[in-house]
A and B are shown apart, each in its own frame.
Chain A
Amino acid sequence: MAFVALADRDDDAHSHDPDTFITKYIWSQDHKVIAIQYAITAISVGLVALVLSLLFRLQLGFPDSFSLVDPTEYYQYVTMHGMIMVVYLLTALFLGGFGNYLIPLMCGSRDMVFPYLNMLSFWVYLLSVIVLMASFFVPGGPTGAGWTLYPPQAISEGTPGVDGGILLMILSLAIFIVAFTMGGLNYVTTVLQARARGMTLMRMPLAIWGIFVATILGLLAFPALLVAAIMMMLDHVVGTSFFMPEMLSMGTANEYGGGSPILFQHLFWFFGHPEVYIVALPAFGIVSDVLSVHARKNIFGYRMMVWAIVAIGALSFVVWAHHMYVSGMNPYFGFFFATTTLIIAVPTALKVYNWILTLWRGDLHLTVPMLFAIGFIFTFIHGGLTGLFLGNVTVDLPLSDTYFVIGHFHMVMGVSPVLVVFAAIYHWFPKITGRMFHSGLGKAHFWLTLLGTYSIYLPMHYLGILGLPRRYFAYGDTDFIPESAHAMNAGITIAALLVAAAQCLFFINVIWSLTKGKKAEANPWRAASLEWQTPDTPPKHGNWGAELPQVYRWPYDYSVPGASEDFIPQNVPDAYASTKDDK
């Protein structure tokens, strides 16, 4: 079954019609159910990572008041927090969650082309999460090597979790990569092969473009992590010396010889930098759609936006070593990678301009999703600009490995994508659940999240400029760190606690709205793209009822001069214009 695509079977619509509770909600092959399974799993594991961050933040803010974590646990929690957030939450949520939900609906297909493989993808993903969580319960606990897992320390004595934790981490990543590949094959093939009649590539919403390019990046970049993981696993278990040099371990020379730790870093960042865009590109795409709908205006410069997504995706493979300016690699590489890195700023900046220009002369409905989308633009501008500091090799020298880096990547990879996640959830909530969410709670959630996170991360940049190194359990008496910096650290921790508490509003909102929310209309935002034009809300299995939709226009026909409504759905044949009509 898995091998023959849905689209290749002539009974494609109902070949896997669910009939029992189990096939409908558990072993489901419906992309919408799989999307929700992915989202729930990812958000749950993300909550674990959030709690971990609060624990180590309490240590950093109040090093003498709580004894919640010791250094071993601190490094374990920092590592798990990073890895979970980047891979198991954001990657899984954007591609497995939103990708799964939106691709068939926005492209006008009945489901993914390989539904069975899609189902398998989720279950394998769940397995990877379980294996990762299991590392909390093995002797020695999870690995504390930092989410970058650099050898030699990741597999040497002196690092927490060197017995079982690191092995489970590597194993879990390998399983995740298998799951991602299964899902990714689906997303790419569905976009290429299963679009509705008339849905050309250049008529796809930017959300699909972002997810599509991000998936390609993932498919090509994750093998680098797999290669690194396999080789490090062998170094640790079998005693090969791919990455491991001759070195001292607990006072005696070990058995390794001749390996290169920097080789691992090249592999890791060859995956790791595209990974940034695997998270960012879907966010770019989704936020473009949300902005356009709520500004009642087409996205400004659609061609440029697509071009930028593709260019950023391609360039993301030639910038990886900007994470390694001070890694001891040949310093002459710095010239090349600084240049490519700053070049990537140009298409990224253009995307920001185009978002803002979409607002310009629009008709802005400041709904909850729109608030989150505009909040995203603000945080992304901030995070993007600080990226110019770190990408530029000389400026990176004093800032590398300090809190500036933490501030930067949390603005650009933490807060910004998470704001988009919330924008997307609020935006599509009526379609997914058939109910409206509570707008007041949503607004409160927005304000606390935006202002709270900014007050966490803005000061971090300055602590970094001052020179506070990252990944320090405590600072002790350090001459150049004034008392005020410690006070600021305490303030940051309080802000973090507030932001975490504010997320309760979101969960309360979701639970309340699921049962008590107002019934949603089919198209409450009056949006033009295809997913809002389904015959049922929420869409039933097979999405489109008896007949597949046909697409007559691009997805951004808002406020078209002369049209009676301020939007024209993609599947509406030309009602007024003079261009020829196929029907």
Chain B
Amino acid sequence: MALAIALILLVVGSLIFHFLSPWYFTPLASNWELIDFTVSITFVVTGIVFVIANLFMAYCVIRYRHRPGQKADYEPENAKLEWWLTIITSLGVAAMLAPGLAVWGDFVTVPDEAAEFEVIGQQWHWSYRFPGEDQQFGNVDIRHITEDNAFGMDPADPAGQDDVLVASPIVHLPVGQPMRAWLRSKDVLHNFAVPQFRVKMDLVPGHVSYTWFTPTVVGEYEILCEELCGMAHFAMRGRVVIDERDEFENWLSQQPTYSELETQTVDPMLGQASYGLCAACHGQQGEGMQALNAPRIAGLDNRYLERQLKYYRDGVRGTHDLDTAGAMMRPILAALPDEAAIRNVAAYIETLTTESPITSVTGNVIRGKQLYENCASCHGENGQGIWAMNAPAIAGQHDWYLVSQLKNFREGIRGSHRMDLYGDQMMMLADVLQQDGDIDDVVAYLNTLSTN
């Protein structure tokens, strides 16, 4: 009897949960209302079966539970009943399958008027490419990828010269325009998914897949990787911003084309002149100075430096109330007049060398090594930094600085600005080091890497 009541309560409870649960599809922001419709049909059909089957079972448990003198019927089969059930079930299945297949037909046929863009996945961030004026993508190849050609563009292909390369994980798309996304991966499997668009598809290395959608609501949406792609899979996020057409065009025109990037010049010698300003705190050789909260910057990857300098300039970094050290950088940046100046000074700093700093942080090195495995995937086994991961070198950095930055990331003092492209990644990973002791352990292990 308790069982029957439990079954009834479970059915009623499931229904109540279904209707009262605050968790349901995010508001749709693409043309795929038909997908939501097929889901609704499936909910109705399966819901009816769920309720009827379980309530009938509960009825059986009440009505036919054992009482003295009761005897079961002897009925090996009932062909008629079984046929009816087969037919009804088949009809129910067809009612779900037919619309499903029809909508899938829409999904596999991309409309002719669709514009194209390319989504590129790699461990653990996104980048994008637009075909440019000629509406044609240039050839790409993994073998062409270098630090200066992160997209692997074929320099000899004329179609690729005007391709617009978006190296940040944030992409803009025009509202109301059907978009075909070509999906390409540089390393392992990834999956391009925006919950509000409903559609998703894997990115497969050595292969180009696609999906398509028409954004219908202006706004900003998260792009999630939904195919396990290694240790930092959960931190592989991007954003798609849906703009009105002219805003989109405006944004697109600000993005560099391949040929623009190719012809960009860098001159470390020009940077040396500007460096005098930095040397006051960071030292002549970029060795850093604890008293002034200035980290060692000598030899850091120029792209990392460039990005951080722009963050300071644009108020992405150093604007949090608690980031007093960072705030000191902001006025300095006024002295670097334009992008070229920033590029040059970054290039100069990259050429500097200095010896390893003195260590002060102590901790459990063995535990630190274990924890560092999570960092090593991006910053390298030896903390040397990996340009492809956008991860700077951390071995050889002052340990007090590493501690303060890890704490800043963990508390959201650094990296929480929406335009800090890889900040959210560091925030999520710094969150792994929940106790201050954890941070000390990792940094103590890093110290052993610096001295070697």
Contacts and interface: CB of A to CB of B under 8 A. Distances in A.
Whether A and B touch (Cβ < 8 Å) is answered with yes
Interface of A: 63-64, 67, 70-72, 75, 140, 144-146, 150, 152-153, 156-160, 245-253, 258-262, 295-298, 300-304, 326-328, 331-332, 334-335, 338-339, 342-343, 345-346, 349-350, 352-354, 356-357, 359-366, 371, 374, 377-378, 381-382, 385-386, 388-389, 392-395, 397-402, 447, 450-451, 454, 458-459, 462-463, 465-467, 469-480, 482, 484-485, 488, 556, 558-561, 566
Contacts of A251: 386-389
A258 B142 CA distance: 12
A386 B50 CA distance: 10
B231 A72 contact: yes
A349 B89 contact: yes
Interface string B49-85: 1100110110011001110001111111110011001
B296 to A, nearest CB: 22
B330 to A, nearest CB: 24
A428 to B, nearest CB: 21
Select the residue from A64, A258, A298, A371 with max chain B CB neighbours within 10 A.
A298
B153 to A, nearest CB: 14
A71 B429 contact: yes
Given A377-B57, A397-B107, A558-B74, 16 more contacts: A75-B228, A158-B188, A158-B232, A253-B143, A296-B71, A302-B76, A326-B202, A331-B108, A357-B78, A361-B64, A394-B34, A394-B101, A466-B195, A476-B424, A478-B222, A479-B221
A456 B57 CA distance: 23
A364 B71 CA distance: 10
Contacts of A70: 370-371, 373-374, 432
Contact of B82 (A350, A393, A458, A466): A350
A70 B374 CA distance: 7
A402 B193 CA distance: 11
Contacts of B424: 476-477
Contacts of B189: 150, 152-153, 261
Contacts of A482: 22-23
Contacts of B73: 297, 361-362, 559
A458 B22 CA distance: 14
B158 interface: no
Contact of A359 (B14, B22, B60, B432): B60
Given A71-B231, A458-B14, A346 B86 contact: yes
B97 A392 contact: yes
A338 B431 contact: no
Given A71-B234, A463-B23, A328 B209 contact: yes
25 contacts: A67-B434, A72-B231, A72-B374, A158-B123, A159-B230, A160-B231, A249-B187, A250-B388, A252-B388, A253-B142, A258-B206, A297-B75, A301-B77, A331-B104, A334-B104, A338-B104, A350-B85, A359-B57, A378-B54, A378-B57, A381-B50, A395-B96, A398-B199, A401-B226, A471-B233
Nearest to A379: B10
B125 interface: no
Contacts of A471: 228, 233-234
B394 to A, nearest CB: 16
Contacts, number: 369
A514 to B, nearest CB: 27
A261 B428 contact: no
Contact of A339 (B70, B97, B206): B97
Contacts of A365: 66
A561 B74 contact: yes
B250 interface: no
A250 B380 contact: yes
B187 A385 contact: no
A363 B71 contact: yes
A466 B39 CA distance: 13
A354 B32 CA distance: 38
Which of the listed residues A298, A338, A472, A474 has the most CB atoms from chain B within 10 Å of its own CB? Answer: A472
Contact of A374 (B45, B57, B123, B432): B57
Interface string B193-215: 10110111111111101000000
Contacts of A558: 72, 74
A153 B230 contact: yes
Given A350-B82, A474-B428, A566-B71, A248 B142 contact: yes
A411 to B, nearest CB: 12
Given A362-B73, A458-B17, A338 B97 contact: yes
B222 A479 contact: yes
A301 B209 CA distance: 47
Question: Which of B49, B76, B196 gathers most chain A CB within 10 Å?
Answer: B76
A392 B100 CA distance: 6
B93 A467 contact: no
A61 B401 CA distance: 32
Nearest to A355: B57
A477 B237 CA distance: 11
A63 B430 CA distance: 12
Contacts of A399: 39
B183 interface: yes
B93 A364 contact: no
A339 B34 CA distance: 19
B176 interface: no
Given A158-B188, A160-B231, A248-B122, A301 B78 contact: yes
A304 B56 CA distance: 21
B254 interface: no
A353 B195 contact: no
Contact of A303 (B23, B54, B70, B77): B77
Given A261-B206, A332-B108, A360-B60, A158 B71 contact: no
A484 B23 contact: yes
Given A152-B205, A338-B101, A394-B99, A356 B187 contact: no
Most chain B C-beta atoms within 10 Å of own C-beta, residue among A343, A473, A488? A473
B38 interface: yes
A401 B373 CA distance: 26
Given A146-B228, A339-B101, A392-B96, A381 B234 contact: no
B183 A328 contact: yes
A330 to B, nearest CB: 9
B11 to A, nearest CB: 9
Contacts of A454: 10
Contacts of B370: 70
Interface in B347-378: 370-371, 373-374, 377
A260 to B, nearest CB: 7
A92 B60 CA distance: 34
A483 B233 CA distance: 22
B298 to A, nearest CB: 21
Contact of A328 (B42, B203, B225, B429): B203
Given A158-B188, A302-B77, A402-B226, A394 B103 contact: yes
A476 B235 contact: yes
A23 to B, nearest CB: 45
B420 interface: no
A394 to B, nearest CB: 4
Contacts of A362: 60, 64, 72-73
Contact of A159 (B195, B206, B231): B231
Interface in B231-258: 231-235, 237
Contacts of B387: 251
B346 to A, nearest CB: 19
B101 A246 contact: no
B46 interface: yes
Most buried by A among B60, B90, B377: B60
Contacts of A300: 75-78
Max chain A Cβ within 10 angstroms of own Cβ: one of B73, B187, B203: B187
B101 A335 contact: yes
A326 to B, nearest CB: 5
Given A158-B231, A361-B72, A366-B3, A400 B427 contact: no
A473 B100 contact: no
A246 B24 contact: no
B228 A150 contact: yes
